[in-house]
Amino acid sequence: INDNPSQYRIMLSGTVKSPKISFDPIFLMLMPVPLGMKTETTVNIIPQDYLRQSRIQVELPEFDREDGDRICPFSVQFPNGQDIVVSSDGTNIELICHIGFSSSRPVSYLENIFFIDEEKN
C-alpha cells in the first residue's frame, strides 16, 4: 500500500436476497359449518432469507352486513408466536398459524388475508 494504491486491486461480489414468506397450503378453503360454529385450519408460514428477527402482523378482511354493522368473521392465532427467528445455521424457522372462521349469519365470499412483516413486505 505505502502510497502506491495502483498495485492492489480488490474485487467484491455478492447477491442480494429479499426476504419472503410462502404458505403451506397455498390456498385455503374452510369447510361449511352451522351458523355460530367455528371452522378452523392450520397453515404453515415458511419464511425465507430473513437475516434478522421480524414479526408477522395480519390484516383480516371486514365486511358490511345488511344491517350496516361491520364484522370480521376470521380469527388468527400463532400458538408458538409471530416472530420470524433466524436459527444458528442461518435458516428461518417455520411459523404455525391457526385460521378460524365463525359467523352468526350466512356468508360466502372469496377474500385475501394479508401477512405483513415489520418492513411492510
User: For residue range 32-82, what is the model confidence (pLDDT) as tens digits?
Assistant: 889 999 999 999 999 998 888 899 999 998 887 777 778 888 999 999 999
Among the residues of 1-121, which ranges form H helices? none
Read off φ and ψ for residue 17, nearest 5 degrees.
Answer: -115, 130
Average pLDDT in the 8-25 region? 85
Q: What is the pLDDT of residue 3?
A: 67
Q: Which three cell numbers, joined as nine digits, stand for 94?
A: 417455520
Query: Which position has the higher pLDDT, 102 or 107?
Result: 102
Q: What is the pLDDT of residue 59?
A: 93
pTM, rounded to two decimals: 0.77
Q: Is the dihedral of CA 46, 51, 55, 60 positive or negative?
A: negative
Cα separation, 97 vs 111, whole angstroms? 17
Q: Which helix (H) or strand (E) holds 76?
A: strand 74-77
